[in-house]
């Protein structure tokens, strides 16, 4: 997710009183934009937490055989299993059979409400005999690239960015605001939901007024396109605001309720060390987490865990990091956490 520039106002030694005039003269852009999961991915069942993984064929595991299966699924009805096309496979044919059996219960129950023909997804499974585990990638909706291209034409009629409210400037208020927008027709206003920390109410009001005027003139469907826009309001010359790069150990130290969680992660199976990009969106939305560089199927459990975590920080610090992004360095480490008994 590329980082976008911030809405910046100068508030240095000459005082906040001049900030509004300076802000108006600054050539700033407003947002970072990410494509949300498609409707098909959002309603895909079983849900991620209960999807499990293919069964490792016993004979192949005893032989120490590694397997890799990449498939394309086509869903044509909400109550029918997908057709499975094998795009690539290595190892015994039993690996392919295990993947087909695993995918047979999958359904897209909202398919009737999502026009445009079959839903086509791609994903990959890797069978590793050293830990007798099967690792899968997140399903990829093949329509996402088309949606992403349409999202690129979304524009505000007057350009620019939301105003930095003068009252917020006088109060020295900074913060990030998220706006989820669902486009369903060219030239029509999007459905909008705005998220912000309680202290950023003034900023959220400015964002909501602005995004309701955004349009997607190149929209051609077939299904609505949802996206999340992140607006960064910053006062130039003020103290550091937002995240610094973190290690995985530092993230764990700040994770809410970590002492009561069960977590088993072995990053030595994930082509470590590696970096992840994370944008913190809790408690309103899951955190956005993506791999930097080459993707690896074994990292998916860690990515999904990070997306669900809340940070335990003072309120002012949460104001600072909400909506902000950081790079998390993941070393070669084994983590085996169990809930601590209360004394």
Q: Quickly list DSSP for 116-166.
A: SS-EEEEEEEEEETTTTEEEEPPPEETTHHHHHHHHTT-B-TT-S-----H
pLDDT score, position 106: 97
Q: How far is CA 21 from the centre of its chain?
A: 36
Q: Which two tokens stand for residue 203?
A: 């900023």
Overall size of the chain counted in residues: 343
7-36+149-236 topology per CATH: TolA/TonB C-terminal domain (3.30.2420)
Is residue 173 scored above 50 in pLDDT? yes
Q: What would the pLDDT profile of 252-277 be if each residue is shown by its tens digit?
A: 999 999 999 998 899 998 999 999 99
Residue 202 contacts residue 165 (beta carbons within 8 Å): yes
Is residue 326 scored above 80 in pLDDT? yes
Give the mean pLDDT of the chain: 87
* Band (221; pLDDT cuts 50, 70, 90): confident
Question: Which residues make beta-bridge pairs with 120?
Answer: 74
Average pLDDT over residues 113-118: 66
Q: What would the pLDDT profile of 32-86 be if each residue is shown by its tens digit?
A: 889 999 989 999 999 988 899 999 999 999 999 999 999 999 999 999 999 999 9
Distance CA 41, CA 45 (A): 9
39-142 topology per CATH: TolA/TonB C-terminal domain (3.30.2420)
Higher pLDDT, 321 or 294: 321
Q: pTM of the entire structure?
A: 0.83
Is residue 114 scored above 60 in pLDDT? no
pLDDT score, position 57: 96
- Show the beta-strand stretches assigned E in the chain: 7-10, 31-35, 67-75, 83-90, 119-128, 133-136, 140-141, 175-183, 191-196, 225-236, 246-247, 263-266, 274-279, 288-291, 325-330, 334-337
Q: What would the pLDDT profile of 121-165 be if each residue is shown by its tens digit?
A: 999 999 999 889 999 999 999 999 999 999 999 999 988 889 999
Which class for 125: exposed (0-12), middle (13-18), buried (19 or more C-beta within 10 A)?
buried
Distance CA 340, CA 173 (A): 39
Residue 251 contacts residue 306 (beta carbons within 8 Å): yes
Average pLDDT over residues 174-202: 94
Average pLDDT over residues 224-253: 88
**CA neighbor of 121 nearest in space, from 52, 55, 47, 70:** 70
φ, ψ (nearest 5 deg) of residue 192? -125, 135
């Amino acid at each position: 997710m590329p980082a976008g520039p911030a809405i910046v106002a100068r508030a240095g030694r000459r005082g906040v009183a001049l900030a509004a005039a300076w802000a108006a003269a600054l050539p700033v852009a407003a947002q970072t934009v990410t494509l949300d999961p498609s409707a098909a991915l959002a309603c895909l069942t079983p849900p991620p937490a209960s999807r499990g993984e293919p069964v490792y064929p016993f004979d192949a595991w005893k032989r120490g055989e590694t397997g890799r299966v990449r498939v394309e699924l086509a869903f044509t009805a909400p109550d029918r299993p997908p057709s499975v096309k094998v795009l690539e496979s290595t190892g015994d044919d039993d690996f392919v059979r295990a993947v087909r059996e695993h995918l047979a219960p999958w359904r897209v129950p909202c398919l009737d409400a999502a026009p445009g023909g079959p839903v086509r997804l791609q994903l990959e499974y890797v069978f590793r005999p050293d830990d007798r585990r099967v690792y899968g990638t997140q399903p990829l909706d093949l329509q996402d690239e088309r949606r992403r291209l349409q999202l690129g034409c979304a524009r505000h009629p007057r350009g620019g960015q939301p105003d930095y409210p003068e009252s917020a400037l006088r109060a020295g208020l900074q913060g990030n605001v998220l706006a989820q927008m669902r486009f369903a027709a060219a030239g029509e206003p999007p459905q909008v939901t705005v998220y912000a920390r309680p202290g950023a109410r003034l900023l959220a009001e400015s964002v909501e007024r602005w995004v309701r005027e955004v349009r997607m003139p190149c929209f051609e469907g077939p299904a609505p396109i949802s996206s999340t826009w992140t607006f960064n309001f910053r006062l130039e010359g003020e103290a550091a605001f937002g995240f610094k790069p973190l290690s995985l150990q530092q993230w764990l130290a700040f994770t809410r309720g970590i002492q009561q969680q069960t977590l088993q992660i072995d990053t030595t199976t994930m082509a470590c060390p590696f970096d992840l990009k994370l944008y913190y969106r809790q408690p309103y939305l899951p955190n956005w987490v993506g791999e930097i560089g080459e993707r690896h199927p074994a990292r998916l459990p860690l990515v999904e865990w990070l997306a669900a975590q809340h940070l335990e920080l003072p309120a002012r610090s949460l104001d600072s990091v909400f909506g902000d992004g950081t790079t998390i360095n993941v070393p070669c480490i084994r983590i085996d956490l169990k809930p601590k008994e209360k004394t």
